Amino acid sequence: PTAREQTSPGVTLTDSLIARRNLPHLVEPLRPESRPTELLSPSTIRLDRENICTIGRIRSLREIHSLYLQQNQIEKIENLGCFPNLRFLSLAGNRIRRVENLQPLQHLRVLDLSHNQIQTLDPDELPRSLRLLDLTGNECTHQHGYRELVVGALPHLLQLDAQPIHGSACEEEEEGGSSSSEDEVEELLSEPSGPFTAGKDFFADLQEELAGRSQRRWRESLKEHQTRLEELEELRERRGLLLPPAPL
């Protein structure tokens, strides 16, 4: 086992753990009078495989946009309101039984809850801002009408369990074959992959798929442009054949 796996059980996600794993240059424990900016320098917190079983109460970290907590022992989603601007949350591979306490995350775009222990799902517990959601590996994906319920509750959803959503509000707002929402998610997933995604290919595959979509849109637009040029040239030739010859 790795050094992280040998950590004593029952670890709680706290300010000090965040600082120790993500800001190693901080030697002294955080003091109550410490300025919040000490924890605001990163926009991403990575605490995968830390044997975390509970999420403690943490001071507000408004500048954190991405939080990686996969492959821990977390049983309950709680105390995440301290990340009000969170856009990317990975809780894959934990022991979560219920989707709850996510409504404060009004800017959340990507949520990975795959491979947990979620038996049933209440779609109303999911933030309506979600663009990408992964619940694969949970029993709730087999409940009757699961996909329809989720899609109906999330009007901006682009992808559910690695399958695209057709006819979403985002697609209807597309102009010129491009989607600002997909570009936003693609930018969000453009962080360099590292140990925090080891053993789980969802985000790597998702990033590759979104990049492929962007390239396909560009190729389709170019092909359409070339087709229109050819049609215009053909129309000019036909018009030339129909015109009477010029007088001598």
Which pLDDT tens digit goes with each residue over 27-81? 334 444 444 434 434 688 898 898 999 998 888 888 899 999 999 999 999 999 9
State residue 213's pLDDT score: 62
Residue after which a domain boundary falls, among 142, 164, 186 = 164
State residue 190's pLDDT score: 55
Q: How far apart are CA 81 and CA 92, in angstroms?
A: 19
- Let me know if residue 247 belongs to a domain: no
Residue ranges in the chain modelled with pLDDT below 50: 1-7, 24-41, 174-178, 188, 191-200
State residue 165's pLDDT score: 84
CA angle 98, 112, 13 (to 5 degrees): 70
Among 5, 7, 86, residue whose Cα is nearest residue 45 = 86
pTM (2 decimals)? 0.64
Residue after which a domain boundary falls, among 109, 139, 164 = 164
Q: How far apart are CA 65 and CA 46, in angstroms?
A: 11
State residue 203's pLDDT score: 56
CATH number at residue 117: 3.80.10.10
Question: For 41, how many CA atoms within 13 A lie in the half-sphere containing its CB?
Answer: 10
**Alpha carbon distances (Å) from 52 to 8, 27, 66, 95, 174:** 10, 21, 17, 11, 41
**Which residues lie below 8 Å from residue 209, measured CB to CB, with a gap of 6+?**
162
Count of domains observed in the chain: 2
Domain containing 227 equals 203-239
State residue 235's pLDDT score: 72
- Let me know if residue 2 belongs to a domain: no
State residue 33's pLDDT score: 47
- Pair (160, 209) in one structural domain: no
State residue 84's pLDDT score: 93
Whether the Cβ atoms of residue 132 and residue 155 lie closer than 8 Å to each other: no
